[in-house]
Structure 1
Amino acid sequence: MSFFIEMLLKLFFLLSIIPFLLSEKLQKKYDMKINAQIEYTLFSGPKKVALVGEKFIEETSGMVVSRKNPSWIYVHNDSGGEPELYIIDTLGTYLGTLKIEGVNNRDWEDLAMGPGPIEGENYLYIGDIGDNFGRAEELIIYRIQEPDQLESEMSAKPEIIKLKYPDGPKDSETLLVDPISGDLFVLTKRESKNTLYKAAKDLLLDGNSVDLEKVLQLPITLSVGGDISADGSQVLIKNYWVIYYWTRKEGETLEETLSGKAVLLPYEPEPQGEAIAFEPEGETYFTLSEKKLRINPVLYRYDKTTDGD
């Protein structure tokens, strides 16, 4: 029995490093092809800000920068983690914990910031949208108002909004909330062309169960995170080795913007990089990986260049 357990542990270890090996191999194999297309005049980077060494921030999956205090970054772990948001600053220093009351972390995969029930207020949207085996009948969105001030230990009772795909369960890791329309979007992960689904703002009510609308297929696979700048004019979506970037024209819907051609931005491949976030003005984006192979994740920063203004 001990031999069997040992073999299982070895198999689990090998499976756990596949994303890291895949991203490294693909990045090297297609280095000339990908880097030839990357637009380096828009954002520079990467800049290594800091190692994030706290033991409780090990499987970072979602990240968003505060709108009330742009020096705060909210992050969370994925499946099986505590139902908590952790707050670090833009230098990577841990500041505090925000506990989400009365819920579980089934498979939290992304975090977004956007409008909500009270006009002019900012809300955090936690996406319990992961589903590795395609079995979940519903996705769950937890929504809380962004805190006014920072404390070392905080808690909040969330609104709970349930979502359902029109065409069966899917695995998703990217959640977007449009700051202009207030609509919510979920982007799937596993297909060769990931699919964008939408829930209209008016349906995002506490206790509601919403049927998602299928709106667009993107020429992207393995999408693991995304964000929209606070003014809605810039959009980021990433997979394990590429960051896609769109600029939005005035009057365009988000789906119209994403149907256009993306630009590839600079990215430092990470052991399992799933988290990405704009700072509110859209002048900087950050990335952060899960901890893999005993390597503490690095907070990377990419700044808009003068040529990109």
Structure 2
Amino acid sequence: MIRNSYWWIFFCIVACGASSDKVGGSAKFHAAELRGEVENPLINEASGLVEGYNNPGYLWTHNDSGDEARIFLLDEFGRDNGIFTLKGIANRDWEDISSGPGPEEGANYLYIAEMGDNLAVHDYKYIYRFIEPRADDPRVIERFDTLTFQYPDGKRDAECLMVDPLTGDIYIISKREAQVGVYKAPFPQPVKDTIILEKLGNIPYHNVVGGDISSDGREILVKTYDKVLYWERDLSLSLMETLRTAPLEIPYIVEPQGEAIAWKKDGSGFFTLSEERDSIEAILYFYPKNL
């Protein structure tokens, strides 16, 4: 029996007119490589994705709302490498994960965004920040910061969290507006006080569901349900000034409820991962950069 996920891949291949293992392509990026189905069956609503520094060749992901407060470690082909649980908190609606600098100089931190709010009813949103565990560390994470934040212009639903590796500033892009908002929490972010995000402006996109900044700070990816947008950043410009310029739209396999995107830390390309929908398994894709 052919699994539904492969019927979906076959449909994408026919629609895009591509070979059986690669779809699309551009002058900047090669066609997508199918890396494999996600092995761990508990990963069924993958909503964020990031490659860390402490586990080369491995990716962190997490589920959407309703799951336990846990993150999953998987290799670049979707194979399982364990589950890490954050002690004493719940997953109300985790929507993205990022990595970058933090309070301890030289350490790499993971940032998990508790910021999903489909009905715009929650007064406070949270970001959980902790030093990235190594694969052989204890599987319960007990020490982490809770960053509490609000928007300056009302309650918002958001699914895109990015940490600038050059500054430690946190950026959030809202989801549902006709022109989504870009918000900033400058480094260092206070732990004891509620952070009121700074609104930087709007950009002309809708249904933004993920994003990531490359490890050198020079490239930005923003994902919607049906597009991947790419900016090459002049470091003399701010991130917002960059996002106001015209992006490159990368040919992209439209995944069922695809929300997760992450740069490979060496800059050689990026990964995407989707939720499972209609019995279609979650597939990990890699888009190699045309170096």
TM-score (normalised: structure 2): 0.89
The residue aligned with 1:232 is: 217
Counterparts of 1:42-121 in structure 2, within 5 Å, are: 42-121=28-107
The residue aligned with 1:186 is: 172
SS in structure 2 at match of 1:98: strand
The residue aligned with 1:253 is: 238
The residue aligned with 1:200 is: 186
- Render the CA deviation track for 1:108-132: whole Å, top value 9, x for unaligned: 0000111100111110000001100
SS in structure 2 at match of 1:255: helix
Please state how far the C-alpha of 1:39 moved relative to its aligned partner.
7.0
Please state how far the C-alpha of 1:251 moved relative to its aligned partner.
2.4
The residue aligned with 2:129 is: 143
- Render the CA deviation track for 1:226-277: whole Å, top value 9, x for unaligned: 0011110110000111000001112222112112111111210111100000
Larger Rg: 1
SS in structure 2 at match of 1:161: strand
The residue aligned with 1:12 is: none
CA distance 1:45–1:151, change in 2 (3 Å): farther
* Aligned counterparts of 1:95 and 1:139: Cα–Cα separation in 2: 29
- Render the CA deviation track for 1:82-133: whole Å, top value 9, x for unaligned: 1000000011100011111111101000001111001111100000011000
2:275 corresponds, among 276, 287, 290, to 290
Amino acid at match of 2:192: G
- Render the CA deviation track for 1:137-161: whole Å, top value 9, x for unaligned: 0110000101244358343432001
Amino acid at match of 1:84: R
Is the 8 Å Cα contact of residues 44 and 276 (structure 2) preserved in structure 1? yes
CA distance 1:300–1:39, change in 2 (3 Å): closer
Gaps of 5+ in 1: 1-23, 32-37
The residue aligned with 2:204 is: 219
Is the 8 Å Cα contact of residues 134 and 170 (structure 1) preserved in structure 2? yes
Q: Which one has a larger percent helix, Structure 1 or Structure 2?
A: 1
Amino acid at match of 2:48: G
Is the 8 Å Cα contact of residues 96 and 152 (structure 1) preserved in structure 2? no
**For the aligned residues, what is the CA RMSD?**
2.1
Please state how far the C-alpha of 1:45 moved relative to its aligned partner.
1.9
Please state how far the C-alpha of 1:294 moved relative to its aligned partner.
1.0
Please state how far the C-alpha of 1:197 moved relative to its aligned partner.
0.7
Please state how far the C-alpha of 1:186 moved relative to its aligned partner.
0.9
Question: Does 2:99 correspond to 1:125?
Answer: no
Counterparts of 1:264-283 in structure 2, within 5 Å, are: 264-283=249-268
- Render the CA deviation track for 1:27-81: whole Å, top value 9, x for unaligned: x8xx9xxxxxx97011112111001142210000011001223311000001111
TM-score (normalised: structure 1): 0.84
SS in structure 1 at match of 2:208: coil
SS in structure 1 at match of 2:55: coil
The residue aligned with 2:7 is: none
SS in structure 2 at match of 1:256: helix
Please state how far the C-alpha of 1:136 moved relative to its aligned partner.
0.7
Is the 8 Å Cα contact of residues 211 and 223 (structure 2) preserved in structure 1? yes
Counterparts of 1:166-181 in structure 2, within 5 Å, are: 166-181=152-167
* Aligned counterparts of 2:287 and 2:66: Cα–Cα separation in 1: 30
* Aligned counterparts of 1:233 and 1:134: Cα–Cα separation in 2: 33
Is the 8 Å Cα contact of residues 101 and 158 (structure 1) preserved in structure 2? no
* Aligned counterparts of 2:53 and 2:264: Cα–Cα separation in 1: 8
- Render the CA deviation track for 1:177-227: whole Å, top value 9, x for unaligned: 11112111111001111110111112x132331001110211110000000
The list of structure 1 runs, each at least 4 consecutive aligned residues, that deviate by more than 4 angstroms after superposition, is none
Aligned length: 274
The residue aligned with 2:3 is: none
CA distance 1:271–1:162, change in 2 (3 Å): same
| Matched-pair identity in % | 39
Structure 1 range deviating more: 45-54 or 292-301 = 45-54
* Aligned counterparts of 1:255 and 1:218: Cα–Cα separation in 2: 9
Amino acid at match of 2:158: S
Is the 8 Å Cα contact of residues 47 and 96 (structure 2) preserved in structure 1? yes
